[in-house]
Amino acid sequence: MLSFGNFGIVLETKALCDLSIIIVNYNTADMLVRCLHSIRSQSFNNPEVIVVDNASQDNSLEVIKGFSAWIKVIANKRNLGFAKANNQALKISNGKYIYFLNPDTELKEGTFNAIIEFMKSNPEVGIAGTRIVNPDGSYQPSIERHYPGERHSKGELSGLKGDIAWVLGASMIARRIVLRDVGGFDERFFIYGDDLDICLSVRKAGWSIGYIPNAVVVHWGGASEQNTLPVELWKKKLDAEFLFYKKHYSAKTIRAIRRTNIIHALWRIITLNLILPFRKKKEIHIKKLNRYRLILASFRKREL
């Protein structure tokens, strides 16, 4: 048995199956049903499926009971956050490859075969993302070539393998040994930022990030946050952004990021205020104005 980073996770070194699927659910019962049915319909030999419910207030647990014959369930009494819930599932998982999947998704046929084949054919890849599409079939961005604030880092992140910075965590496969080596998810990331953080940690450990275009996943997005006010949603994302900066960048780089964001927010507030009286649909511009006010206030008071 090996200790799993600083989070107290223990992970068996020997995998017992090819693929473990981990789904963290929070108040997305209806979408979870569709997701689990799409998993069951895959032509793949007995993947392990683990669902972690983060104290949902809807009927998620009742829904999950209907699938209990072939899934493992962890029912938390309170919302522990996305990263910690994933680490919980990692403790009991058995797969050589671990596939992290959002509940507001639907897998197209052949997804599992495609992701396993890709990982076997690309031994330098530690984590890979799939092609993600919107419900109407249009492309949904799922890979990024740069990290937030990277242009200010002046080479701090140079020498990393591959040209993909990070992939969207809604559909992401990782090698078991890689997750062991980087210590799993950083549980300080309650929601948002966990995917870009773990991808950077994996690259720092000497692996590259991959993309699997022939594995297609439909993603609705934002299902667990549909009742969250925009200002609260922006604040959660900013909190994750600040944490990422403090973890991965030097103090000098962080000061440059802070200065740039303050200047940009001030400029946008001034220009939006100037044009607001002349706009017919003022609610759109007021929304933008509120967002930049939050960014300005956050970067001014926050010690990065």
Beta bridge partners of 293: none
| Amino acid (one-letter) located at 86 | N
Looking at residue 146, what DSSP letter applies?
Answer: S
Over residues 49-74, the pLDDT tens digits come to 999 999 999 999 999 999 989 999 99
Angstrom distance (rounded) from CA 126 to CA 208: 6
Angstrom distance (rounded) from CA 226 to CA 187: 23
Average pLDDT over the chain, rounded to whole? 90
**What percent of the chain stands above pLDDT 90?**
78
Q: Evaluate if residue 132 carries a pLDDT over 70.
A: yes
Buried/exposed code over 168-180 (b: 16+ C-beta within 10 A; e: otherwise): bbbbbbbbbebbb
Beta strands in the chain (DSSP E): 2-4, 9-11, 17-25, 48-54, 72-76, 95-101, 105-107, 125-133, 139-140, 143-144, 166-167, 171-175, 208-219
Over residues 196-237, the pLDDT tens digits come to 999 999 999 999 999 999 999 999 976 666 666 777 888 889
Binning pLDDT at 50, 70 and 90, where does residue 3 land? very low
pTM of the predicted structure, to 2 decimals: 0.90
